[in-house]
Amino acid sequence: MTTSNDLLIEIGTEELPPKALKTLSNAFTEGVIAGFKKSSLEAQEIISYAAPRRLAILLKGIPEKQQDQLTERRGPAIKAAFDADGNPSKAAQGFARSCGVEVEALDRMKTDKGEWLVFKQEVAGQATAELTADIVSKSLATLPIPKRMRWGSSDLEFVRPVHWIVMMLGDQVIPAKIMGISAGKQTFGHRFHHPDAIELKHATDYAKELEQTGYVIANFTQRRDTVRQQAEAAAIELGGIAQIDNNLLDEVTALIEWPIAVSGNFDQKFLDIPQECLISSMQDHQKYFPVVDQSGALLPHFITISNIDSSNPAAVREGNERVINPRFSDAAFFWEQDSKTSLESYRDATKKIIFQKQLGTLFEKTERVARLSEDIAKQIGANSSDSYRAAILSKCDLMSDMVGEFTELQGIMGRYYAQKDGETNAVADAMQQQYQPGFADDVIPASTTGKILSLADRLDTLLGIFAIGMKPTGSKDPYALRRSAIGVLRILIEGELSLDLKQLLNSAANNFEDDINAETAVNETFAFVMERLRAYYKDQGIAGDVVDAIANVNPERPLDFDQRVKAVTEFRKLEAAEPLAAANKRIGNILKKVDNIPQYVDTALLTEDAEKALYQTVIDQTEKVTPWFADAKYTEALSSLAALRDDIDGFFDHVMVMVDDDALKNNRLALLQQMRSLFLHIADLSRLQ
């Protein structure tokens, strides 16, 4: 019986890039786990550690060696291995020689295809300690590091210089070299609180020793929770609530080993500036957590997380306050300068900013988007003048001093400047909402004008980039067209806009200059956007074959596509779903082999009771479901069409379709086609698995 033990691996480095720490840790852990799994070694529990100066993993209960394995290597067939007198052939002798044995030592194996020579050998399992260094090295070599660096006189490369390696199996060091450094049992604590080596007695002592002796919380999740708890507690003491952005929380956690929350204050006069400006400065530049009241209004306080448990926290607080006030003074100056002029006055400046060399300037783009926005607004009965105005002003705030300094405030500042200028609420809100959804879990625009502007802007970009032949390839998508396409679909579906996507693209094509052949890119752009529906529905747990069934009938309105998906998903729950899907597949296979099928059924040629019954049910169902098709009530229609099951089964049980009498055959084919077309109004059920 193989015994198990605990394996610790730690890579000690200079401070790792904070925004990449989680990614590096996850990749390192996955690589090590995969390496051991490939070697048939799996731990009972895996704990990953990631801190500014270390990547580590503890594999608890991993076998100390591989199981012994009986290997089988098949050689030539017996017929080819021996001649008529039973003497071994050259093939048999060569196979035996390659196995390091005589022919007599080979076994025989019988299969359905004959009898074969086989070499059986028991291979002793390797010790885990012998495999570890190679597995770790391979994992480190494949980490997602865009730019590696060298240090000292070595040719070794890594994301940061490596200073120590720990590899222990239980209480024993694994003697090996990683990155040119001999593995040992010494780790190092906090750079300032405990810079000396900490000698580990056992692999499982790692996290406890680092925390109790070294002032390092090695577990990323534990350290993250500590940062959150401390920030929240500090905010409560200030009479507010800590506003904690998860990305900032991860970054702060990756920057510190021993979190200590320190609160600070700033001059209340700065609260006259839009609070997003102050929050952006605190979060993005200083890595501070803002403090807000119950209504979400900013309070004149902040919380920073120090990496040192200072004996003089007042000095730490004062130092951070001295840093933040000049930054806020800059923001106040930008706000004051920008407020002296109107948002529209920046429009001429957009003529100097190239959106894309072939597609022109930002000014030209907003002209196209404005015309498309006006068209979309008219289609859905929205305010076309607000939509046009919002598009015309949409990129003006990019020219402001505030957005020039804080680029993440684009749109947000546009809303403030539009409000200041007396633009309508619809126009002002659209300034900010034009960038939604900006990421996977982001909301879509809340207002109708915001939806229109966001949709028009994305469609213009998608069609324009496709028209100049720069569509995404493989993993390369420099204009984020996949994300734009998902945004288009989400706005149309979740925003319940019943718009024809191909028609929208054709409208967008009319706005490009003659030297951009946008019309020729419409179909390809349409297909690209609709293809993103597979990923959209996969994230919702919708089966891929349901999406295929809808896509096969080519709906051009994403909202209509969504209504069909919901209907087919409900239909699959019915008892009749599977046999009807199978029948549609069977009918489809029959029909595609035949040309020139009559359009109508001749009732005089219906001779069998089963085909008469099916015809009558088809007529009844057509009358019943046709109004539902018009109203997109697909769930009701499919539920009703399920009644065709018994008559279809009866038809195939009692009626021969491909008879010698052409008139009879064609009439039956026409009946099947008429029946199948009812389902094809919604989806191609033959695509369901």
pLDDT reading at 392 higher than 90: yes
Q: How far apart are CA 508 and CA 211, in angstroms?
A: 60
Q: Quick one: 642 and 682 in the same domain?
A: yes
Among the candidates 338, 366, 390, a domain finishes at: 338
Q: Which domain holds residue 332?
A: 220-338
pLDDT in tens, 22-67: 999 999 999 999 999 998 899 999 999 999 999 999 999 999 988 8
pLDDT reading at 70 higher than 80: no
Three-state DSSP at 260 gives strand
Q: How far apart are CA 62 and CA 169, in angstroms?
A: 9
pLDDT of residue 486: 96
pLDDT band at 16 (very low <50, low <70, confident <90, very high): very high
Q: Quick one: 256 and 329 in the same domain?
A: yes
pLDDT of residue 66: 82
Q: Quick one: 360 and 332 in the same domain?
A: no
pLDDT in tens, 227-284: 999 999 999 999 999 999 999 999 999 999 999 999 999 999 999 999 999 999 999 8
Among the candidates 170, 187, 212, a domain finishes at: 212
Q: Quick one: 390 and 402 in the same domain?
A: yes
* φ/ψ (deg, to 5) at 615: -60, -45
As a whole number, mean pLDDT of residues 156-185 equals 94
> What tokens appear for 294 in the block?
């119950």
Q: Quick one: 515 and 568 in the same domain?
A: no
Q: What is the DSSP letter of 91?
A: H
Among the candidates 338, 369, 384, a domain finishes at: 338
Give the closest residue to 688 by CA, choosing from 534, 567, 577, 556. Answer: 577
pLDDT reading at 69 higher than 80: no
pLDDT of residue 72: 82
CATH number reported for the structural domain that contains residue 155 in this entry: 3.30.70
Q: Quick one: 80 and 62 in the same domain?
A: no
pLDDT of residue 1: 55
Residue type at position 272: D
Q: Quick one: 33 and 149 in the same domain?
A: yes
> Does residue 267 sit within a domain?
yes
> What tokens appear for 274 in the block?
């839009």
Three-state DSSP at 264 gives strand
pLDDT of residue 632: 92
Give the closest residue to 513 by CA, choosing from 664, 327, 371. Answer: 371
Using CA atoms, how far residue 64 sits from 3, 48, 57, 137, 544, in Å, is 6, 20, 17, 19, 43
Cβ(502)–Cβ(526) under 8 Å?
Answer: yes
Give the closest residue to 450 by CA, choosing from 503, 377, 375, 502. Answer: 377
Q: How far apart are CA 608 and CA 655, in angstroms?
A: 7
> Does residue 42 sit within a domain?
yes
> Does residue 588 sit within a domain?
yes
Q: Quick one: 76 and 136 in the same domain?
A: no
Q: What is the pTM of this model?
A: 0.81
pLDDT reading at 179 higher than 70: yes
> What tokens appear for 211 in the block?
């925390």
pLDDT band at 541 (very low <50, low <70, confident <90, very high): very high
> Does residue 540 sit within a domain?
no
Cβ(156)–Cβ(120) under 8 Å?
Answer: no
As a whole number, mean pLDDT of residues 447-467 equals 97
Q: Quick one: 230 and 284 in the same domain?
A: yes
CATH number reported for the structural domain that contains residue 451 in this entry: 1.10.3210
> Does residue 537 sit within a domain?
no
pLDDT reading at 74 higher than 70: yes
Q: How far apart are CA 176 and CA 206, in angstroms?
A: 19
> Does residue 592 sit within a domain?
yes
> Does residue 550 sit within a domain?
no
Q: Quick one: 273 and 309 in the same domain?
A: yes
Which tops the pLDDT comparison, 37 or 596?
A: 37
> What tokens appear for 361 in the block?
């300037």
As a whole number, mean pLDDT of residues 460-481 equals 92
Residue-by-residue DSSP string for 362-421: HHHHHHHHHHHHHHHHHHHT--HHHHHHHHHHTTGGGGSHHHHH-GGGTTHHHHHHHHHT
Q: What is the 3-state secondary structure (H, E, C) of 549-607?
A: HHHCCCCCCHHHHHHHHHHHHHHCCCCCHHHHHHHHHHHHHHHCCCCCCCCCCCHHHCC
Angle at 111 between CA 109 and CA 113, to 5 degrees: 125
Q: How large a percentage of the chain has pLDDT more than 70? A: 100
Q: How many domains does the chain have?
A: 5
Q: Quick one: 573 and 645 in the same domain?
A: yes
Cis peptide upstream of residue 437 (ω within 30 degrees of 0): yes
CATH number reported for the structural domain that contains residue 608 in this entry: 1.10.730.10
Cβ(446)–Cβ(429) under 8 Å?
Answer: yes
Residue type at position 325: N
Cβ(266)–Cβ(321) under 8 Å?
Answer: yes
> Does residue 536 sit within a domain?
no
Angle at 276 between CA 271 and CA 280, to 5 degrees: 110
Q: Quick one: 208 and 236 in the same domain?
A: no
pLDDT reading at 577 higher than 60: yes
